[in-house]
Structure 1
Amino acid sequence: MVKYSPIESEFASSEEEAAYDAWLKAKVERSLASDKPRHSHADVMKQVREIIEKYENPAPDME
């Protein structure tokens, strides 16, 4: 077991790094194989900007 320096790596050991790498690769493979609809970066950013705008400039209260 190789110990990593926290300055050089976020992992405590080579085993921890390998386990994370395997988990991430499996997650990416599942995502690529998914039939769920995909959203473009531009569409997501447009939605985020609309949410931010809504909270930065709230509509006046209607009483």
Structure 2
Amino acid sequence: MVTKLSPIVSEFETQEQADSYDRWFRARVQAALDDPRPGIPHDEAMAKLDKLLEEKRALRAKRAVG
């Protein structure tokens, strides 16, 4: 039996979809926790993202002009 969920309560149509997503999400989190690579300091991660965003903004501005 498929249990329909209220869109007000859940973003999933059925309980089975919600359970499947929960299993997938928990597996991804556990894989990240188990990853032996060293973590990236917050400031370094944010600097990389800021640089990437600036590059994307510059590309968008260049396309808008030309």
Specify which structure has the higher proportion of helix.
2
Alignment partners' CA distance in 2, 1:11 and 1:46: 35
Asked if 1:23 corresponds to 2:24, the answer is yes
Unpaired segments of 5 or more residues in structure 2?
A: 59-66
* TM-score between both structures, scaled by the size of structure 1: 0.67
Q: Which amino acid is the alignment partner of residue 15 of structure 2? A: S
TM-score by length of 2: 0.65
Q: 1:15-54 to 2 correspondence within 5 Å?
A: 15-53=16-54
Q: 1:5 is paired with a residue of what secondary structure? A: coil
State the one-letter code of the partner of 1:41: H
- Runs of 5+ unmatched residues, structure 1: 58-63
Pair member with larger Rg: 1
What is the aligned residue count? 58
User: Identity across aligned pairs (percent)?
Assistant: 32
RMSD: 2.3
Q: Distance in 1 between matches of 2:19 and 2:4?
A: 13
Mark the CA change 1:44 to 1:3 in structure 2 (over 3 Å): closer, same or farther: same
